[in-house]
Amino acid sequence: MPRSRAVLPLLVALPALLIAALGLAHPVILTPESAERWRLAHLALLPVFPLVAVSVWALLRGESGPAAWAARGLAFAYAVLYGALDSIAGIGAPNQVIRTSERGDPRAPIEDLFEIGDQLGRLGVYALAAAAALTAVVLFLRTRSPIAVVGGAIVVVACYPFLRYHVFPLRGVLAMVAIGVGFALLELARRPTAERG
Q: What is the pTM of this model?
A: 0.93
Kindly report the three-state secondary structure assignment for every residue of the chain: CCHHHHHHHHHHHHHHHHHHHHHCCCCCCCCCCCHHHHHHHHHHHCCCHHHHHHHHHHHCCCCCCHHHHHHHHHHHHHHHHHHHHHHHHHHHHHHHHHHHHHHCCCCCCCHHHHHHHHHHHHHHHHHHHHHHHHHHHHHHHHHCCHHHHHHHHHHHHHHHHHHHHCCCCCHHHHHHHHHHHHHHHHHHHCCCHHHHC
- Indicate whether 196 pLDDT > 60: no
What pLDDT, in 10s, does the model give residues 107-124? 778 898 999 999 999 999
What pLDDT, in 10s, does the model give residues 76-89? 999 999 999 999 99
